[in-house]
Amino acid sequence: MHKILTLCTVSGFILLLTSITSIAFEENSKNKYDNIIYEFKLALDDYVLNYCSTYDSYTVNRLYSQKKIINDKLINNYNSSKFIVSIKKKPFNPKLIKSLNEEVNLVTSNYNLEELDLNYLSHKKKEFVKTLLPLISYENNRISIEREKLESIKVFLINFNTLPKSEIQFLEKTAKRYKLKIKSKHKLDVVNDLLDLVDIIPNSIVLAQAANESGWGTSRFAREFNALFGEYTYDYSNGVVPLFREEGAKHLVKSFESVDKSVKSYFNNLNSHYAYKDFRYVRKIMRKNNNFNNIELLVNELDTYAVDKNYIKTINSIIYNNRLDKLDNFIYSEIKS
């Protein structure tokens, strides 16, 4: 925080403090203290984005979350340099299934990016959304097309109990990309398993996580290495050492040649890593009922993404306070691969 104070005017900071005081009188829940602190953090983030002229990774990392990682070798003695995310075991809320019983039509709309009303956002947030939203939409479109092909393969399998060689190769290639083991599995089981993995992630969730992890694109990792989602790696060929990394830590922040590759990697991570199995399970229920209205149910299953105990509250609040959920039906069809 010391960087923020040196970069921003004291008078502006005092004004910020004054604007937050009313929150204490509005919040009557048992989480009063946490809510006040969080609302202060949101206002502080906006102040930093709008009035500070420079940023460093220390500032952003103090404002935003970091993930907790564990080396596979230390746990399973497995010959791999990949990392896993610490997972908290928790039972599913029985109200979850009930809340999604009603079938709702999933509505999407084609928009020209310039037609979107984003004037309620600050300039930097608006530019961040306008840059990232088409890339997110493209990835979701690509995944939707892939799902359609899987659905057609499933119908063909059910009717003929066999597949052309080209379709078998497609299944094998897709399974490899999503890290799905298919040896000795029936092809229909492979298709069903892939349909759990190959699915969209709502635009608002992707935008909120990217905003949180990169400080709305202002972090050193975002600006210099196209790293928007704070993914960790141990591979020095595509990673950068974080400034102020804890003593003894060996992780790197994964870097990318372009922003779109960072987005694609994020999608693959959430759609394949076992740490997000619960996220995909809730999404499966939503898909079955064609009901993606309650995005918060999905966000609630992302607690393994970061060690911050307030991470879920952070992401939900970013979505709510910046009205990102209104962008969930956005399809940007003009972008080309």
State the Cα–Cα distance between residues 249 and 20, nearest whole angstrom. Answer: 36
Q: Would the pTM count as exceeding 0.85?
A: no
Question: 310 and 208: one domain?
Answer: yes
The answer to whether the beta carbons of residues 245 and 82 sit under 8 Å apart is: no
Q: What is the pLDDT of residues 108-157, one digit of tens each?
A: 455 677 778 899 999 999 999 999 999 999 999 999 999 999 999 999 99
Residue 307: predicted pLDDT: 75
Q: How many domains does the chain have?
A: 2
Instruction: Count the neighbouring beta carbons within 10 Å of the beta carbon of residue 194.
Output: 22
Question: 34 and 161: one domain?
Answer: no
Q: What is the pLDDT of residues 210-266, one digit of tens each?
A: 999 999 999 888 888 898 997 876 665 565 666 555 666 666 677 889 999 999 999
The whole-number average pLDDT for the span 255-283 is 93
The whole-number average pLDDT for the span 305-313 is 88
55: confidence class by pLDDT, cuts 50, 70, 90: very low
- 74 within some domain: no
Residue 28 has pLDDT above 70, yes or no: no
Structural domain boundaries enclosing 7: 1-54
The pair of structure tokens assigned to 263 is: 């987005």
- Helices 123-160 + 165-177 axis angle, to 10: 140
- 148 within some domain: yes
Question: 137 and 193: one domain?
Answer: yes
Phi and psi (nearest 5°) for 84? -125, 165
Which are the contacts of 83, defined by CB distance < 8 A and separation ≥ 6?
Answer: 69, 70, 71, 72, 232, 233, 234, 251
Return the higher-pLDDT residue of 319 and 244.
319
Place of tokens 């190769």: 169
β-bridge partners, 240: 253
Question: 136 and 221: one domain?
Answer: yes
State the Cα–Cα distance between residues 321 and 38, nearest whole angstrom. Answer: 12
Q: How far is CA 295 from CA 143, 195, 203, in A?
A: 19, 20, 10
